[in-house]
Structure 1
């Protein structure tokens, strides 16, 4: 068996010692994941690459980070391999991505909570996006409940190639550690509109992390990677008891429903108590003793607050995608506030204060309603509810 991975011509960005120990860390944005329904070993290499790229596309299209190409035809093998809709829990979270030969870990920059962690033997594949998603990277991993997903990251500022190459270096080191032999990792065909080897320079790569001896087709070498930090150890947190930002089907409703890698080198690790996609839920506010002292804050002074207007009146004020306002509901015993907005032509209404009196999204607790609104407005981050996203672009000002 011949080696099927070679260092980039300029060498790795990081030292092997760094990647083997604390790892390199990138500031990126986690945008969601797609469940993968088949083992990567059941697919040929080209299909694996297509699966990863389609997952990146699906997540980006759902969050309107790219325009959907309705004419694009997707291979049936790819469609059979992935779920119909993405999991958007924690979508839009700014994270530190730590890459080492031990694991890939995503840690929220705002809360320092680990939202996903995958040991290297459970990661099978990593790929950049296609020509429309050059700043995105997806990696396919299996959690300890044997469920696979493709996790999608936005790597702005040209970081995507560095992230992919660093993952490739981690795969190679893991392989070396496993075999105690020379580098025998994999890199895989070109991605995006990248430079061909004949033109010189290193091509953007997909990386493949698999059982030694199961070699992908002959392909060429990989590119290059960035920096370090130490993250907290992975710990399991209790599941969230109730949702936040409840999507209202009817404001008159008296009850609101409560939600409560395949690189298989050696071991099947005993599953721990974590959720389907290996995404750690955040502690429920009441479990931490946290509560907003004044969740309403000085909302009366905000131009986007319209007071007690009806749902119909709010919808009449929403004219184009991105329009939003906040109103006070007249149909609740305790004061409740509703974010009304429009996305893809659909009017949406989200409750802003959860049953415990806390203003929060699935990955962040806010001091009050104004804090939540301004945070998402100024950072152009989508507010996630169920499997939809609402982007706050245009403040609808009250007239009096």
Structure 2
């Protein structure tokens, strides 16, 4: 069992980062987004398939050919890009911090290049990481998106277990999220009757100009619904979509809020990758709580259903996995 990082390592991750010597094997495009890969098991299989695809292009002497070949995962392989992997095969210093995963040249045979940046990916744009299967268990792959290019980057660790690096990556992500949440406090914003065109109504996207963008809804949150919501740590009350998006750092982060634009509306906000999705939970005609084709007695029932059963809220345009509820910050009055 890999031990958790101690206090000194946590400080390093929060500051300059922890460094490992590795070989940057290369990268390959990933065709599917995280919302298309709805289970952690499938995501891990895709990373393993990507590692195999990249490693298979490296000269055999680099990857110990006496080991048995990896069994191909045909389902996961369909989500890996069809183009040739970008093979780098360069020795690097792999740095993991609460801000980014970066690689710089660290080859004793080429001292003039050492320290030069090979790649840098902010943690906010790294969606998943995992280790390879035999014969590639010393390889680690992580999926990162730069603009519209989503790739799995593969590194081979020197003199350190993949589980050790994975532990640092996971802790770095926790620290990054905690730091982001620390800086945020909900801001009170006056109600307006103008809906946002970026939110989804019943898991269907709003169209620009729908309802004339000026409809005043004739219902509001009932006292019973409000009381049950107010007891939930993930309910943030009146909160703008901009503040909600800043609080949701990693895939699976979610919260529930009262809309600052639509009086009486309750919204589930969750990150599904590079984007934050917003789903309106109250039917504008009946006031009933629903998501996609499911109807619930209360918002609490809806959240509990998808959170406990680990089922994503999805439709053709929206997929939100409820993995990590973001608690509201309690504001303590000054003495």
The higher relative CO (CA closer than 8 Å, separation ≥ 6) is in 1
Higher share in strand: 2
- Give the TM-score, by structure 1 length: 0.42
Higher share in helix: 2
- Give the TM-score, by structure 2 length: 0.49
